[in-house]
Amino acid sequence: MDTLIIKGGMPLHGEVTISGAKNAALPIMAAALLTPEPCTIHRVPNLTDVRFMAQILTWLGAKVSFEGDTLRIEARKVQGIGDYDLVRKMRASICIMGPLLARLKSATVSLPGGCVIGARPINLHLKGFEALGARVNIDGGYVHARARKLVGTEIFLGGRAGSTVLGTANVMMAATLAEGTTIIQSAACEPEIVDLANFLNAMGARIVGAGSPTITIHGVKELHGAEHEIIPDRIETATYAIAAAATDGEITIRGSNPGHLTAVIDKLTEAGVRIERRGPDLKVRRGGRLKPVDVTTLPYAGFPTDAQAQMMALLTLAPGISIITERIFESRFMHVSELARLGADIELEGPSAIVKGGRPLSGAPVMASDLRASAALVIAGLAAKGTTRVLRVYHIDRGYENIDGKLRALGARIERVSES
């Protein structure tokens, strides 16, 4: 099992190029199951989650090949059963269900796994499939869905924490081959949903309204192959911007999409970070003393839950009291106890974390509990005095391409070691 060893106290300087978005790549890979023709996808990040999805597609019968960051998928013949040992490894694997149901009218998929960050039910996915005419039941840890045909209808996908991103993606993909028109109300508005819709439209789907709470899908009889480039990863962009601020450095982030990060840029600016937008690039540096801010995670275009842990690491360095409220996942504060090991003063009160910032951090061994918590601990380790060891970093490899290599190129003293 790999460990990251970080010798902190070095400001980050230089340039970093952003990879393609994991949360766009995974459903787009699944969407290739909708056609027997070849699909070519560019700017695919080299991540363990992407490799898991490739293994799932291969298990289902698709031919999958990588060439650099270009992925080619040809699903000429597919089966409708997802393997338990593969699907259980990540939550996003559930998004194979919509394409399989649309194409084969039958799908059996294991209940998915992923990070332990609170309840992440798939009830809204299943509600959408049933509204389209499928019969759905759960038995023995598997979800079974079958339909003689799928028929378009109006579907409301709002949930307890707002809209569902994967649920919107799953139902949208299923509806592309349904008879008639499907209208998804309270649809997720995330850029990754827009990217998926653009890929589906390139395949011959007829989707309008992606990026708004109402998405309309006019069903077609078949889809064809397509070529597509994945959008930049907005969470990776946010993570490097926060790391630059935490280390009192100055970096240029290449190939991002600042328009996808308005809430993050706003809060970083409020905290005293200077950010210059130059087309697809961002120049980030600390503008002096950090200031405390209050942050509440919300569905897009609000502050993303996937950047909450990283922002908390930064705010431990800001003198004063910051309050971070988590409105998406109720168990997404598992990094708090590990940040405390580095010297952070954080108290939990219900869905909020009260960060008493300004105390210096000092290196210590810490344990990563999930993907974004891992990134937060790396940021804290970069800012801390002394040496920090981040254990169980397989989490971080699920969502960050070559993070230790990119940080070293920015001047960080970080190395990866394998430990039994």
φ, ψ of residue 233 to 5 degrees: the values are -80, 110
d(CA 67, CA 63): 13
| Residue 115: C-alpha distances to residues 50, 54, 84, 336, 340 (Å) | 15, 19, 17, 16, 21
φ, ψ of residue 243 to 5 degrees: the values are -65, -40
d(CA 18, CA 406): 10
Provide the token pair at 420: 């039994």
In the numeric block, the tokens 């400001």 are attached to 11
Provide the token pair at 112: 């998915």
Q: Where are the beta strands (DSSP E) in 88-213?
A: 106-110, 135-139, 142-146, 154-156, 158-159, 162-163, 181-185, 206-208
**Residue 397 half-sphere exposure toward CB, CA atoms < 13 A:** 14
Provide the token pair at 142: 């598997």
The active-site residue, picked from 39, 95, 115, 189, is 115
Cβ(110)–Cβ(83) under 8 Å?
Answer: yes
Please calculate the CA angle 279-212-166 and round it to the nearest 5 degrees. Answer: 95
Cβ(374)–Cβ(395) under 8 Å?
Answer: yes
Nearest Cα neighbor of 47 from 74, 76, 25, 31 is: 25
- Three-state SS string over 33-62 comes to HHCCCEEEEECCCCCHHHHHHHHHHHHHCC
Does the annotation count 189 as an active-site position?
Answer: no
**For 95, which DSSP code?**
G
In the numeric block, the tokens 């002096």 are attached to 288
List the catalytic residues. Answer: 115
